Structure 1
Amino acid sequence: MVNMMNLIQNEHMKLYKRLGTWVMIGLILFAVLGLGAFTAFIMESNENTNWKENLKIENAQLQKQLEESPLKGAGETYVQKQVAINEYRIDQDIRPVESQSVLGFMMDATNFTGIIALFTIVVASSMVASEFSWGTIKLLLIRPVSRTKMILSKYITTVLFALFSLVLLFLFSFLVGSILYGVEGVGQPYLVYNNGSVEETNMIAHIIQLFGFNSVDLLMMVTLAFMISTVFRSSSLAIGIAIFLLFTGPQLTQLLSSYEWVKYVLFANTNLQQYTNGTPLVEGMTMTFSITVLLIYFVIFTTLTWVVFKKRDVAA
């Protein structure tokens, strides 16, 4: 355990000594500040005193849509859910969350997890490949530490960087949102449609849940990039493939959603929020199914990484 902790500490020291690491952290903070400036000073105020009337109009349109073009399955469930939540808001006088509020700002900031995924892919891709390209891998392997602990320490360091970035994004978005809009309304509930009824839950917990859902895709893409970097010893190849799949994989999967077999594709399962929204990509998919598929992919990626690194000859 001591050796593992020392290895992780050593990897952290190497990671945070790089200027590029701090540039990436700075860009995350700059993105939040940019969003704050846009929503507060450029975007028109979205405060709506007639929000109840707007919700009534929206419900009428949704009901008309159901009558004119009946939806089935997930589509019908989504409309019923939205109508029920809108009616609950009107009855209980709970207005929708506005972008120009601390909670709305934090919810908008969850979109920046894509930037964190991009940066963590860069970190993951260089963790092992850079040791080979710089020739320092030989110095690491002469230590009295197993290769398993060595590769694990690098992977854990990468995941901890992603976790640190997510926590930083959450806290900084709360800080900026509080400064711009104050903390009024921070206790506003999040409405959930569950088993035919609407329930109130904690909004902060919901925002944390959004970060968690967005982190699933991040973790899988980082693990994939780490595997490619280890197998091919090329950080550029790992970055290129991972970023390409990060931005095109979900779209391609969506286009192929009419085929039953697409539910076994990685990107059909990374968005677990599809189940809380009641709109699974393929009819019959469940959260348990998606988690199982993700675990299978994760085991394949990590096993291949471990086997290749453990057997690789670095004498040349």
Structure 2
Amino acid sequence: MKIYRRPGTWVMYGLLILMLLIVGMFTKFLLDDPSGQVTGADNNGQIQVTMEEEFVSNDDWHQAVHSRNIQLQMMIDDPNIPSAVKDRYSQEIIINEYRLEHDIPPVETKSYWGYMTSTVNLISLITMFTIIVAAGIVAGEFSWGTIKLLLIRPVSRAKILLSKYIATFVFALSMLLALFLFSFAIGGLFFGFSAITQPHLVFTNGEVIERNMFTHLFMLYGLSSVELLMMATFAFMISTVFRSSSLAIGLALFLMFTGTQLVHVLSQYEWVKYILFANTYLAQYIEGTPIVEGMTMTFSLVMLAIYFVAFNALSWIIFQKRDVAA
């Protein structure tokens, strides 16, 4: 009730819809992408669009895909290219050959699915909004003095803390749902729904498989939401421990924007794989290029679980023992 009765919450929803409209208009009317360059992830580890789809803006996509295969083969023949990257290029060649054989065009940047996959980047905006909510949901009770009104009720402290934690992620899920629904509608408005049945090609177990594009999109949502979960939990922990929403917001946002860069700077050291931000970008294993050699999906999931439990345990212990009589 406290979250959704605040005007600021609805301003966040309005900003999200506004950003979707801006991205849609930019993609439809301003974006110029004649190169057909494959787009994966940027240096910050943010998912840009699809993992291996090639985006073309001309009508003769067959020639563009064929040219791309020639380019990829030249890079594979380069002895300076790492073996993991060569394997990824080889898989892309196989996918492109399947595409040519079965007459399945690539996803263009200026298309319905090109727009839908590009809006996945706005999950970082949702992460910022969720951090703001998580940072104030406990600290605000202390600053307003309303925490005493909660604790005098016949409800355990653990239940109070859990309810606030769940409320934070209900907000995050509602924002993700709004992102999907409005991007679905706006994408159809700008580009139509004619390409909605277009499949996504993925190389797995030595063969090319056609998957539903919605399945691929939901995978992108899931991978991008890992950082949302961890940073919101971190902000919630700082809010609970230090009773300061400004500290929680500032520290969480600072680490959100600088953590990945720090990991890349220190990537030559073995111990960097134990840092939280080396493990939040799970798409690195799908792309075949982990930040630190030897890292696996299982290792990252274990590290994320450890951080997750540690953040929540610290929040629970401090909140249970805190004296609020003063």
TM-score, normalised to structure 2, is 0.90
- AA aligned opposite 1:197: E
Give the unaligned 5+ runs of structure 2. 34-55
After the TM superposition, which residues 107-256 of structure 1 pair with which residues of structure 2 at under 5 Å, given as runs? Answer: 107-256=117-266
Q: CA deviation at 1:288?
A: 1.3
Percent sequence identity is 55
1:84 counterpart = 2:84: no
Out of 283, 290, 307, the residue aligned to residue 293 of structure 2 is 283
Q: What is the match of residue 4 of structure 1? A: none
Q: Distance in 1 between matches of 2:67 and 2:177?
A: 39
Q: Distance in 2 between matches of 1:289 and 1:221?
A: 19
Q: Distance in 1 between matches of 2:291 and 2:61?
A: 31
Q: Distance in 2 between matches of 1:218 and 1:74?
A: 28
Alpha-carbon spacing, 1:73–1:313, altered in 2? closer, same or farther (3 Å): farther
TM-superposition CA deviations, 1:156-212 (whole Å, max 9, x none): 000110010001101110000011111111111111111222211111110011011
Out of 9, 16, 26, the residue aligned to residue 21 of structure 1 is 9
Between 1:192-201 and 1:37-46, the stretch displaced more is 37-46
Structure with larger RCO (C-alpha < 8 A, sep 6+): 1
Q: CA RMSD in A?
A: 1.3
Counterpart of 1:68 in 2: which secondary structure? coil
Out of 25, 46, 57, the residue aligned to residue 37 of structure 1 is 25
- AA aligned opposite 1:68: D
Q: Distance in 2 between matches of 1:128 and 1:139?
A: 13
Out of 60, 74, 84, the residue aligned to residue 50 of structure 1 is 60
Tell me which stretches of 4 or more aligned residues in structure 1 moved more than 3 Å. 44-47
Aligned residues: 304
Counterpart of 2:135 in 1: which secondary structure? helix
Between 1:286-295 and 1:222-231, the stretch displaced more is 286-295
TM-superposition CA deviations, 1:208-267 (whole Å, max 9, x none): 110111000000000000000111111000001100111110111122222221111111
**Partners of 1:74 and 1:280 within 8 A in 2:** no
1:305 counterpart = 2:315: yes
Q: What is the match of residue 9 of structure 1? A: none
1:101 counterpart = 2:111: yes
Q: CA deviation at 1:287?
A: 1.2
Q: CA deviation at 1:44?
A: 4.2
TM-superposition CA deviations, 1:250-289 (whole Å, max 9, x none): 1111222222211111111111111122222222222111
Q: Distance in 2 between matches of 1:84 and 1:303?
A: 47
Q: Distance in 2 between matches of 1:119 and 1:75?
A: 35
Q: Distance in 1 between matches of 2:260 and 2:215?
A: 26
Out of 64, 72, 95, the residue aligned to residue 82 of structure 2 is 72
Between 1:237-246 and 1:99-108, the stretch displaced more is 99-108
Q: CA deviation at 1:131?
A: 0.6
**Partners of 1:73 and 1:283 within 8 A in 2:** no
Larger helix share, 1 or 2 = 1
- AA aligned opposite 1:288: T
**Partners of 2:117 and 2:217 within 8 A in 1:** yes
**Partners of 1:230 and 1:309 within 8 A in 2:** yes
TM-superposition CA deviations, 1:19-72 (whole Å, max 9, x none): 110101110011001111111222348632122212222221221122233433
Counterpart of 2:203 in 1: which secondary structure? strand
- AA aligned opposite 1:202: N
